[in-house]
Amino acid sequence: MLENYPKRLERYKRLIEISRDLASTLELDSLLNRIIHAARDITEAEAASILLYDDTARELYFQAATNPDPMMRGMVIPMDSIAGWIVIHREPVRISDVRKDNRYFKNVAQTLSFQTKSLMGVPLITKEKVVGVLEVLNKADGDFTETDEDMLTVLGAQAAVAIENTRLFQQSDLIAEFVHELRTPLASLSTATYLLLRPEISREQAEQIISNIHQETIRLNALASSFLDLARLESGRVQFNKSSFPFQPLCQECKGVLGSKAEENHISIEINIPEDMPIVAGDRDKLKQVLMNLMSNAIKYNRANGRVTVNAGHKEKDWFFSVSDTGYGIPEDALPNLFQKFYRVKGLETKATGTGLGLSICKQIVQGHGGRIEVRSKVGEGTTFTVYIPR
């Protein structure tokens, strides 16, 4: 079927517009969103999706779709699927009926309520490296054409460069901040060792200094692991291994780990999970990391004899859990900054040690589940963080 000239011109114009648009987006999620919507529009498809390829783990996983399903994100797609074939052969694919193709990965169809018939996919390649696959599904009328393939190939080439750019940009930004954060602890370690070498230092003073060095190295260690976690999450290369699990035991595990720290400050931990709270779905280890950080904050920034309460339940289309404390609270003007990297509320830094990365990590994990995290706080009364995850 030959396409009329004005219509094709219109599609080329749209392609040029998109290329400009892509070059100016440096945030991965919004970039991927633009790419899939553009891909769907210029090929007149019903839906589009992007899979990213992790060349260290040699795994392909689902990252974004025009009709998003939170359970799909992070899903690992086997290499003997159509998308896997595209990565291995570095060639585009056009199929008029996937149900007749034995490479078709049926899990995707089962997870989504979406029926796929025709499919076209191109590899996303930069500097000889495959970073992912761009797929469009169900051509509006008939099959995908050669023109469609050309268009998607051009878009794919632009998209690959843009994806690589966001990664490099994020990395350089994050590394600059990390190096800045290293300076203070390194300076104090350097001062401490200098003091230790002074002959006039008493034994007690020396012990005090050594204890400070010890604390500071523990903090540096925590900084390094938090930093790595965050860098991996931000690059979009982390996979979410979703499963169904009961929530109550997870809370008990966190309480077990944090219990002695709470006892030291005479803080009680209450877990209030309703009896009828069914099994929840998500990446158990990552959600545990979120709960651990929220509970550890609630203990760290609490007052002596305070209380920490964990609640959970269902609300509309989400399930949620919240962590409340009876601590210092957070001033209103600090609330918007809480989820920024390395941010710590002024005046509270002295109450407890921390890297200021915990909440940034939480936010990334929650967003990776398609959810959101909210905070309410009143100075002098306490704070509640609530995490909502779509069911």
Ligand X SMILES: Nc1ncnc2c1ncn2[C@@H]1O[C@H](COP(=O)(O)OP(=O)(O)OP(=O)(O)O)[C@@H](O)[C@H]1O
What residues make contact with ligand X under the rule CB under 6 A?
Answer: 226, 293, 297-298, 301, 325, 327-328, 330, 338, 343-345, 348, 354-359, 383
Give the shortest CB-308-to-Mg ion separation in angstroms: 13
Nearer to ligand X, 23 or 379 (CB): 379
Cα torsion 235, 239, 243, 249: sign: negative
Least distance from ligand X to the Cβ atom of residue 135, Å: 37
Q: Give CA separation, 339 vs 173, 282, 356, in Å.
A: 16, 21, 9
- d(CA 5, CA 8) in angstroms, rounded, equals 5
Give 184 or 191: the residue with its C-beta nearer to Mg ion.
184
Cα torsion 31, 33, 35, 37: sign: negative
Q: Which residues of this chain interact with Mg ion, rule CB under 5 A?
A: 293, 297, 358
Least spacing, CB of residue 354 vs Mg ion, in Å = 5
Give whichever of 175 and 196 is closer to ligand X, judged by the CB atom.
175
- The interface partner of residue 74, options being Mg ion, ligand X, none and the CB cut-off 5 to 8 Å by kind, is none
Q: Are strands 268-272 and 307-315 parallel, antiparallel or unpaired?
A: parallel
Nearest to ligand X of 154, 375 (CB atom): 375
State the nearest-atom distance from the C-beta of 33 to ligand X, in Å. Answer: 26
Decide which of Mg ion, ligand X, none touches 226; Cβ closer than 5 to 8 Å per partner kind: ligand X
Measured from the CB atom, is 284 or 344 closer to ligand X?
344
Contacted entry of ligand X, Mg ion, none for residue 326, CB cut-off 5 to 8 Å set by kind = none
Are the C-beta atoms of residues 15 and 154 closer than 8 Å to each other? yes
d(CA 54, CA 74): 11
Considering the complex, state which of residue 236 and residue 358 has its C-beta at the smaller distance from ligand X: 358
CA distance 84 to 90: 10
> Which of ligand X, Mg ion, none has residue 325 at its interface (CB below 5 to 8 Å by kind)?
ligand X
Kindly state the smallest distance separating residue 264's Cβ from ligand X, in Å: 17
b/e map of 48-72 (b: 16 or more CB within 10 Å)?
A: bbbbbbbeeeebbbbbbbbeebbbb
Least distance to Mg ion, CB of residue 257, Å:
14
- The entry of Mg ion, ligand X, none that residue 322 binds, CB within 5 to 8 Å by partner kind: none
**116 or 297, CB closer to Mg ion?**
297
- State the nearest-atom distance from the C-beta of 230 to Mg ion, in Å: 12
Answer with the entry of Mg ion, ligand X, none that 338 interacts with (C-beta below 5 to 8 A by kind).
ligand X
CB of 60 to Mg ion, least distance (A): 33
Return the one option of ligand X, Mg ion, none that residue 301 interacts with (CB less than 5 to 8 A, by type): ligand X
Burial 337-365 (b: 16+ CB within 10 A, else e): ebbebbebbeebeeeeebbbbbbbbbbbb
Residue 242 partner contact from Mg ion, ligand X, none using kind-dependent CB cut-offs of 5 to 8 Å: none
